[in-house]
Amino acid sequence: MASLEDFLTSPKEQPSQPLTPELEKKLATTLERLKTALADYGEGLTFANSLGAEDALLTGLIGNYLTTDNQPAIQQFVLDTGRLPEETLTLLAQVQQKWPQLDIKVFYPEAVQLQGWVTEQGVNAFYRSQELRKSCCQVRKLEPLRRALKGKTAWITGLRREQSVTREALDYSQWDAGNGLQKLSPLFDWSEAEVWAVIQALKLPYNSLHDNNYPSIGCAPCTRAVQPNADPRSGRWWWENPETRECGLHSAVELQAAKS
């Protein structure tokens, strides 16, 4: 496994611009978190890759520092809901091409269940009520998530405290009672500016929608561009109250538990 220092000084992988000492230190700390997680949980560890900016950074760390040609270090999974933007699927293909040694599994909704929901409710029923939106997320995200996490003891996410009001109490490691395993968020204390500084310096592939004011990207019909300096999550389920804008993958109650 390459060290961070070796990577940053490699002629092939020379950063496009130098990282500040503070950011290099933060990057090294995050890499150490990933290494420790791998040592602690081994094959019981998996990374939920949503193909957003934070996950682009984590994928780069795993692909460049924690993976050998013969043995993927951390298994990853992507939830393809059937409504992902084309740009997201394009990024997945780019990641698989850049790091063919990565073990990325793709999970899809259960076909019969999805067909039943669409037939009964309508293809875009999620716009009609929060209850229908959450039931769509249940079919397209939560049921595949349960399959993806089956047999695992810990999962890695790209969550950050700064992302939304539902995530302000986030810690690096929290017990995920809903799924019965540990949840690790190695970037919990990163700012959006820091994430992008590293992505750009290390020339990591990322979702092209980010260049069009999409700071947070989910399913195409439930995601839109936001105004500059707006809440990064304001483009997700924008017709709902900010305090409810979670799909169930990350419970708002769970994320705010530390406040109580």
Supply 8's token pair. Answer: 């940053």
Cβ-contact 108, 80 below 8 angstroms: yes
Terminal CA-CA length for the chain: 41
Dist CA 81 CA 193 (whole Å): 29
Which of helix, strand or coil describes residue 125?
helix
219 is catalytic: no
Cβ-contact 147, 113 below 8 angstroms: no
Which of helix, strand or coil describes residue 190?
coil
Beta bridge partners of 76: 47, 104
Active-site residue identified among 136, 137, 222, 247: 247
Dist CA 226 CA 231 (whole Å): 8
Active site residues: 247
